[in-house]
Structures are given as C-alpha cells and as structure tokens.
Amino acid sequence: MKDEILMENKSIVVPGEVLAKGMSFLPGPGTYRRDDVIVAKKVGLATVDGKVIKLIALNGTYLPRVKDKIIARVIDVLMTGWRVDINCPYSAVLTMKDATNEFIPRGADLTKYYDLGDHMLCQVVNVTSQNLVDVSMKGPGLRKLKGGRFIKVSPYKVPRVIGKDGSMVSMIKKATGCDIIVGQNGVIWINGDPKAEVVAVKAIKKIDKEAHLSGLTDRIAKWLEEAK
C-alpha cells in the first residue's frame, strides 16, 4: 500500500476526516493515529510540515498552559487556598503560598485576601496530566481586579484582540481611555467611563466576530474613529 496525503495542504478539515495514509507520516497536534491512517481531532486548518501532519484548531474552549496570564474568579474558599474558575472545563487552585507576599497566619480568615466572586489576574504555574491546574499571584503585574466589568471572547481569538505586540488592545485603550486587561483564557477586564466601556466592548466583540478577515486593524481603527 502506498503512503499518501489525502487532503490539500492548508485546507479546513473536520473531526474524523482522514488526513494521511501510511506509517511514514506522523500525527502532530490536533490529530491522532488510527490503525495506519492519521485522523483529524478538531475543526481547523490542516498543514503538512515535512512528515508531520499538524492541525490548528479554529475554535474551542481554553486549555491551560504553563506561564499563561489569565483572569480567574474565586468560586470556593478552601482550607489552604482558593478554588478559582478559569473559563475552562477544569478549575484551578491558588494556594496560600502562591497567593500573596504577606505572611498569612495559621487559621486566618482567607476571605480577607480573596473572597467569593473576586477576580484576579494570575499565572498558570503547573498543569498535570490529569488536568489539575495551579495558579500563582507571584509575578509582575499580577493582582486582584477591583471594579470594572468582564466579558468573554473565544480563547482562540485572544491573539487577534491583543494584536502584534499589543497593538490592537493599545489602540482600543487609547481611543476609549479604558483600562483593559486581556487574559489568555478569553476573559477580558475593562474599566473606565461607562460610555467609553460600551465602545470598547463593541470593538472587542467586533474583533471576536471578524478575526478571520484580513485588514482587521485598519477596519477597527476606522470603526473606533467613527464611534467617537
């Protein structure tokens, strides 16, 4: 049997689609081997890189990776820390040790530091194979987020919201005068004048919707100019 690639390079594939036949190809991210064929796991763009078949997913839920800066929300106060929602199928744990530089005395009321429903910008420090996630508050810029409001975008569109070297988000910040923090998990914190916030939210939703179209930055710049 001849080894061959069964899809066009850089084409959109769906889960279950057979991408290549034969043992001389290797399954990359987003694909897996079934018997002697390589099959797509997600909806996305399949590319051939030498012998490796790669698949870049178009959309999906957030999957935590170490060093991601994300926005989390406290959902439970534990004996030794906090359980936080990170907009992902798995919740994360923030331990007392990683929560603050202050010394937390034995038996202290942990809600004094973070209470239920509080949001914070934190960093993923460990993800186990069983998807137990640890986050930390130790690092530059990591802090509790007071006031403001939160919106969600697809985690796969976060790079477009941020833009190259943060160009997109700083453009929105400049145009609206709002403070904006974009978490890698797709949660975005916005704080500013109520009217300006509405404009910022609409701009971000527009990016989320039109992320796949070219000339995005110019279009958003023009839109922001008109919205003023």
Partner 1 sequence: MADEHIVKALAADVRYDGRKKLEYRDVKVEYGVSKSAEGSARVSIGETVVMAGVKMELTTPYADRPNEGNIMVNAELLPLSSPRYEPGPPGEKATEIARVVDRGIRESKAIDTTKLCIAPGEKAWGVLIDVVSINDAGNLQDAAALAAIAALKNARLPQLSEHGQIDYDATKTDKPLPLEREPVEVTVYKIGEHYFIDPLCTEEDSADARLTIAVTEKDTICALQKGGVGPLTVEDIDHMIGIAQKHSKQLRKAL
Among 2, 67, 112, 195, binds partner 1 (CB under 8 A): 195
Query: In the bound complex, what is the minimum distance in angstroms from residue 147's beta carbon to partner 1?
Result: 5
57 binds partner 1 per the rule CB under 8 A: no
106 binds partner 1 per the rule CB under 8 A: no
CA 143 to chain centre: 18
Query: In the bound complex, what is the minimum distance in angstroms from residue 197's beta carbon to partner 1?
Result: 7
Q: Is 21 strand, coil or helix?
A: strand
215 binds partner 1 per the rule CB under 8 A: no
Query: In the bound complex, what is the minimum distance in angstroms from residue 171's beta carbon to partner 1?
Result: 20
How far apart CA 23 and CA 4 sit, in angstroms, is 10
147 binds partner 1 per the rule CB under 8 A: yes
How far apart CA 153 and CA 159 sit, in angstroms, is 11
202 binds partner 1 per the rule CB under 8 A: yes
**Which residue type sits at 35?**
D
Beta strands in the chain (DSSP E): 4-5, 11-13, 18-21, 26-27, 31-34, 37-40, 44-49, 52-57, 69-77, 81-85, 92-95, 119-127, 133-136, 143-145, 149-152, 179-182, 187-191
228 binds partner 1 per the rule CB under 8 A: no
Among 58, 139, 148, 219, binds partner 1 (CB under 8 A): 148
Contact residues toward partner 1 (CB under 8 A) are 117, 147-149, 191, 193-195, 197-198, 201-202
